[in-house]
Amino acid sequence: MIPGALDLDLLRTYVMACQLGSLSRTAEQAGRAQSAVSTQMRRLEEMIGQRLLHRTGRGVIPTTEGEVLLGYAKRILALSDEAASKLGHTNQQGVLHIGLAEEIAVRALPDALGRFHRGFPDIQLDVTVDHSPAIAQLWTDAAVDLAITTTAAVSDEPLQTWTIELQWVAGIDFILAPDSPVPLITYAEPCLWRKRMLDALTERQQNYRITFTSQSSAAIQAAVENNLGVALLGPECIRPASMRCLSTADGLPAPLAVQYGLYARHERHSTCAAAVRTFIDTLVPLRNAGPRTI
């Protein structure tokens, strides 16, 4: 039987540990000693009366009971944050400037911005969606309060990172002709994905030709579905009903991966910390580790 109410601080640390999969990274993220985080997890397990985390050589993962608590913890924290923001910031107004890499906005925008707006309805969100180099420049120029872009484009240390696996993708009926240049569908320059895509093919001494270029993810998807060529896409952009992933058996390089970081200026906006939590809670469960980071 659980004695009394659950401590919100313990729950927040527990959720972070489950999402990051590491007590050391949790300690670093929370600004605490690892021993303090370990003590918190033991206290929570004692309160619940169940083992919540499996300790492995690579970190921690929730037990069956831990998964149950994780679901409740996320709901409890979301309601707590919403109540605190609603009651504690009812007169708070202003503009929060956010910059998102276009290629990740598909997964970041709908849930994160919706949750943030519900908690801070009086805050105006000014969102810029562009390619990673442009978002990185906005961050460097201090033109945004919060940014999500490739870590390779920013010299600052990110608050959180995600690794997204990129697959070589073609239309469901597309046939890659042997001994012919690979027809490519690419993002317009400057684009890290485009550069790595071409570098990977060049490394394999694979001939290619660019058949379609666009700055829009929707246009890239449409080109793939209409069999204009092969694209490099993240999992959120792949439509299984009309696209298929290609592999080394098709004469293409192995899947690649790109690392994104979340950057925020907490001191510049009083609601920036809440926005950071919202984006981290939304994006961390969606992260996937690729075979290698580019």
Q: What is the pLDDT of residues 77-114, one digit of tens each?
A: 878 766 765 665 544 557 788 898 877 776 666 767 77
The stretch 140-153 carries a mean pLDDT of: 88
The stretch 107-125 carries a mean pLDDT of: 73
pLDDT tens-place string over residues 155-181: 888 887 878 888 999 999 998 888 889
CATH code 3.40.190.10 region(s) in the chain: 92-163+258-286, 164-256
Q: Which of 147-151, 224-228, 280-284 comes out lowest in average pLDDT?
A: 280-284
- Looking up tokens 């981290």 gives 280
- Report in angstroms the alpha-carbon separations of 94 from 61, 123, 126, 137, 142: 39, 5, 10, 23, 17
The pLDDT assigned to 224 comes to 95
The pair of structure tokens assigned to 231 is 């694209």
CATH code 1.10.10.10 region(s) in the chain: 8-87
Which of 287, 288, 248 shows the shortest CA–CA distance to 168? 248
For all residues of the chain together, what is the average pLDDT?
Answer: 81
Q: Can you tell me the distance from the alpha carbon of 96 to that of 146, in angstroms, rounded to the nearest whole number?
A: 8
- Residue 4 pLDDT class (50, 70, 90 cuts): low
Answer whether residue 76 shows pLDDT above 60.
yes
Answer whether residue 213 shows pLDDT above 70.
yes
Which of 152, 151, 224, 146 shows the shortest CA–CA distance to 183? 224
Single-letter amino acid code for the residue at 59:
G
The pLDDT assigned to 164 comes to 82
Answer whether residue 2 shows pLDDT above 70.
no
Q: Name the fold adopted by 8-87.
A: Arc Repressor Mutant, subunit A (1.10.10)
Which one has a higher pLDDT value, 231 or 95? Answer: 231
Q: How many CA within 13 A on the CB side of residue 199?
A: 9
**Three-class secondary structure of residue 33 per DSSP:** coil
Instruction: Please list the alpha-helical segments (H only) found in 49-95.
Output: 64-88
The pLDDT assigned to 106 comes to 67
Which one has a higher pLDDT value, 239 or 93? Answer: 239
Domain 164-256 listed as CATH 1.20.120.790: no
Architecture of the structural domain at 92-163+258-286: 3-Layer(aba) Sandwich (3.40)
- Residue 288 pLDDT class (50, 70, 90 cuts): very low
In the 3-class helix/strand/coil scheme, how is 216-277 assigned residue by residue?
CHHHHHHHHHCCCCEEEECHHHCCCCCEEEECHHHCCCCCEEEEEEEEECHHHCCCHHHHHH
pLDDT tens-place string over residues 41-52: 999 999 888 899
Select, from the ranges 96-105, 106-115, 132-141, 267-276, the one with the highest average predicted confidence (pLDDT). 132-141
Q: Which of 67-76, 106-115, 248-257 comes out lowest in average pLDDT?
A: 106-115
